Structure 1
Amino acid sequence: MNKPTIRSLIYASVATAVLGLATAAQAQTTLTIESWRNDDLSIWNEKIIPAFEKAHPDIKVVFQPVAPTEYDAALGAKLAAGTAGDIIACRPFDKSLQLFQKGNLTSVNDIAGMDKFSAVAKAGWSTDDGKTTFCVPVASVIHGFIYNKDAFDKLGIQVPQTEDEFFAALDKIKADGTYTAIDLGTKDMWEAATMGYQNIGPNYWHGEDGRLALIAGKSKLTDPEWVEPYKVLAKWAPYMGDGYKAQAYPDSQNLFSLGRAAIYPAGSWDISQFKQAEFKQGAFPPPVKKVGDTCYISDHVDIALGMNAASKNAEAAKTFLTWVATPEFASIYSNALPGFFSLQSGAIDLQDPMAKEFVSWRGKCKSTIRSTYQILSRGTPNLENETWVASANVLNGTATPDEAAKKLQDGLDSWYKPGK
């Protein structure tokens, strides 16, 4: 019998190693994530994916975003062609509900960790009856006010807690004349609704109680609790900049960044926008009507992740979604994107001071979501879009609060029949 040569042993070892690598490569599953958040690409590639792959070396993850304006059409085409990724980034409410109803998304009720999310957190990605959730909630955005702390200190203004204190502060800022008191424009209209009406409104319609009563047909937009925030909003106009009717959203951001405004009605996504500003900043939640009132914040669901029902890697996808429901993912995501807050019920240790301030309001106030997003914007006229117009008209003085509310309710009545 011939003895093996050194060369043949080396060849055999190399062949075994190559075969082992090939087997390992074959064993590795690749998951592709579809998303509209193309601004998050580096964060996923540098922070989120490496953390998951370290714990799950048998699963490779590829983040594959497209531009936000192209996402819905591109995703729909891929799903129809059978080429969509395994994990789908889910917009809140009807866009994703329609995908579930078409059979494109699966239920995530059985994903471990779903008990960490409240009914409000899951509302954006659940069936109307709340029994089935089809995407794992990832993050929300919170509304409030960011203020120029240097301006407040210079003028001796304390952070307002009540509506009266808020307008007293505005009077003081306007009288001084150095700063625009309220930095908000109406040209793009959506800010008037989102950072105006939907920001302060929950304190008047009592958050989820009012929102759900509107859906149930037990209250109307012409009722006092829905008209009053418009009356308050109308009082903002004299404190806004001289050219606020022509002021677009980027103009508002720029004005505050330059230190020329005192109070900026905000969405928490603006936190990163102002990090480079050369003045101290603070934030406060929407002031309550009077001392002792329960406070409410718009803690609006923003993004979730679900599984493509046609995925050929279902088990790996479930493993990934289970990780998305863990505190580890929540901590990485929330700290990488200040102003986008985990929807898990457990507290997350945030590093950004402004983000910590915003999220601290959850412990003081009751959370709700924007009143127009669930069910009430399915018809024509679309209540969300109509609320943009109504809010801008109230601020512009071209409609009274009662007129704006009546137009919204008339539009809703034309197609929405509660309980049917």
Structure 2
Amino acid sequence: MKRKRLAAVLAALTLAVGVSACQGNGPGATKDTGSDSGSAKTIKVYASGDTNIQDLWQKTLIPAYEKANPDVKVVLQFDLHGENSSQVIAKLAAATQQKKDPGIDLVEGVGKQAGQAGLLADPKPKVPNLANVDSKVVAAAGTNAIPYRGSSVLLAYNADKVTDPPKTLDELLAWIKAHPGKFAYNSPKTGGSGGAFVTTVLDKYVPADVREKMTTGYDKDLEKYWEPGWKTLAGLNPYVFQKGVYPNGNNGTIDLLSSGQIWMLPVWSDQFLSGQANGTIPKTAKIAQISNPTFTGGSTEVGVVKASSNQEPAFAMANWLLEPDQQKAIAEKIAGYPVISLDKLPAEVQEEFKDAKPDQLRPGYNSDHGNDINNLWDQKVPGH
């Protein structure tokens, strides 16, 4: 599967400005890529997501940055699936209130939430490369968050078993019931691909003007519109994998597809394409996008922590992430969409991603509504 295939799929989408991210597993899952954490030349990074994002930082971004800046060490605290991201936000909030250094300089994966909570420093004077990112993408990222890569959730399927994949959400729901046990999605709290499926089913019943309010702000009373969606999701229990087994994390469902136990699943575009490139996803698997509505997608952000006493090197690294070489590396390593203007990238990257633009991706809900979705899913779906 070539990345050009994804560009062709996405060319057909009619999507809005987006923000999304894989989420999921705690601050205890720390990986240090350097020492001397007390030095002003050390950048302490918190990042979250799945193993492909962990590899991106550990094997590509950090080594490249340290090679280009030999007087700087980068210490990475990686939170697998971001399951304890709320604890990190609470830690940053307490440090900001108490005016104490939180021990984190740069955050990734929770940039939007941290920005909404007023926990990030203003990047505009310090990150000149932000001018190369579409203004709509920057606006969607929220207060002081810096978009640095994009991705979308798509529908992956075993083409040997599925010759006519669903093209709309209604067709997908009908397909699941017609093929018991052959579809799976991970619990939304453990990964954004499952979260996108849940969000998209809920969206089926939410009026467009209400959804816009729930995307840009928080009003718990509006969550009443989700009730038909929760009933639909609970009604799928007898038809999903093993009559109601929901894997842990985005990779959990991918493993089921690769082993032939299921035929269809929602998947992050970057994980799918990088998985096919490294052989963990079979070549018989293909991807498509549904409509009415589409799955969600968008940018992932970094942000420099307002309470950090070590902001300057963190801003420098954030600016570096938006340089063409790093955007090219992200595209090559995880098939992440570049967020800077494509005309600043090599011709082959321009061709592969010409239709994969983060400003065209359908947004997820406000992060507070997103947290409510995670908790309500646990209450309303499994075992019902």
What's the TM-score once normalised by structure 2's chain length?
Answer: 0.64
Partner of 1:48 in structure 2?
A: 61
Contact 1:108 1:306 in 2 (8 A): yes
Q: How does 1:224-373 map to 2 (within 5 A)?
A: 226-227=226-227, 229-230=229-230, 232-234=232-234, 236-245=236-245, 248-249=248-249, 252-268=253-269, 270-271=271-272, 272=274, 275-288=279-292, 295-306=293-304, 310-311=308-309, 314=312, 316-338=313-335, 340-344=336-340, 346=342, 360=355, 362=357, 366-373=360-367
> 2 CA distance for matches of 1:297 and 1:187?
13
Alignment match, 1:17: none
Q: Which of the numbers 168, 172, 178 marks the counterpart of 1:166?
A: 172
Residues 1:107 and 2:122 are matched in the alignment: yes
Q: Measured at CA, do residues 165 and 98 of structure 1 come closer, stay the same or move farther in structure 2, by a change above 3 Å?
A: closer
2:100 and 2:307 in contact (8 A); partners too: no
Runs of 5+ unmatched residues, structure 2: 1-39
Whether contact under 8 Å (1:372, 1:383) holds in the other structure is no
Structure 1's 258 and 366: CA in aligned 2 closer, same or farther, altered over 3 A?
A: same
**Structure 1 unpaired stretches of 5+:** 1-28, 127-132, 175-179, 289-294, 399-420
Q: For 2:63 and 2:190, how far apart are their aligned partners in 1?
A: 40
Match of 2:154, SS state, is: strand
Is 1:136 aligned with 2:133? no
8 Å contact 2:214–2:366 — kept in the other structure? no
Please, what is the CA RMSD of the aligned residues?
Answer: 4.6
Q: Would the aligned equivalents of 1:141 and 1:269 in 2 still touch at CA under 8 Å?
A: yes
**Matched residue count:** 325
CA pair 160-218 structure 1, distance change in 2 beyond 3 A: same
Distance 1:142 1:273 in 2: 15
Contact in 2 for aligned 1:334/1:341 (Cα 8 Å): yes
Match of 2:375 among 372, 378, 386: 386
Kindly tell me: are residues 53 and 122 of structure 1, through their superposed partners in 2, closer, same or farther at Cα, counting changes over 3 Å? farther
- Give CA deviations for 1:30-58 in whole Å, capped at 9, x if unaligned: 3524223595566446533565567x65x
Q: Check conservation: 2:121, 2:303, Cα contact below 8 A.
A: no
2:10 counterpart residue number: none
Distance 1:319 1:42, change over 3 A: same
Shift of residue 205, structure 1, vs aligned partner: 4.1
Correspondence 1:63 to 2:60: no
| CA drift at 1:369 | 2.9
* Aligned residue number for residue 148 of structure 1: 158
- Secondary structure in 2 aligned to 1:259? coil
- Is the CA contact (8 Å cut-off) linking 1:41 and 1:65 kept in structure 2? no
Q: 1:160 to 1:349 in 2, by over 3 A?
A: farther
1:198/1:120 CA distance change after superposition, 3 Å: farther
State the alpha-carbon separation in 2 of the partners of residues 246 and 287 from structure 1: 24
Larger Rg: 1
- Structure showing greater relative contact order (alpha-carbon pairs closer than 8 Å, 6 or more residues apart): 2
* 2:45 maps to which of 24, 27, 34: 34
1:228 shift after superposition: 5.2
Q: Is the 8 A contact 1:299 1:368 kept in 2?
A: yes
What is the rounded CA distance, in whole Å, between the counterparts of 1:240 and 1:91 in structure 2? 30
Contact 1:206 1:296 survives alignment (8 Å)? no
User: What is the Cα deviation at residue 242 of structure 1?
Assistant: 3.4
Identical residues among aligned pairs (%):
14
1:336-390 deviations in whole A, cap 9, x for unaligned?
A: 234x4444464877999xxx79x95658x952332241x547xxxx624333225
User: What letter corresponds to residue 158 of structure 1 in structure 2?
Assistant: D
Rounded Cα–Cα distance in structure 2 between residues aligned with 1:159 and 1:303 = 32
State whether residues 183 and 265 of structure 2, in contact with CA within 8 Å, keep that contact through their aligned partners in structure 1.
yes
Give the aligned partner of residue 91 of structure 1. 110
Structure 1 residues 166, 276: CA separation in 2 closer, same or farther (over 3 Å shift)?
same
Q: Conserved in 2, the CA contact under 8 Å of 1:186 and 1:245?
A: no
Name 2:18's counterpart in structure 1. Answer: none
Q: Deviations over 1:295-330 (max 9, x none)?
A: 54411544413265654573x554433332333322
TM-score, with length taken from structure 1: 0.59
What amino acid sits opposite 1:222 in the alignment? K
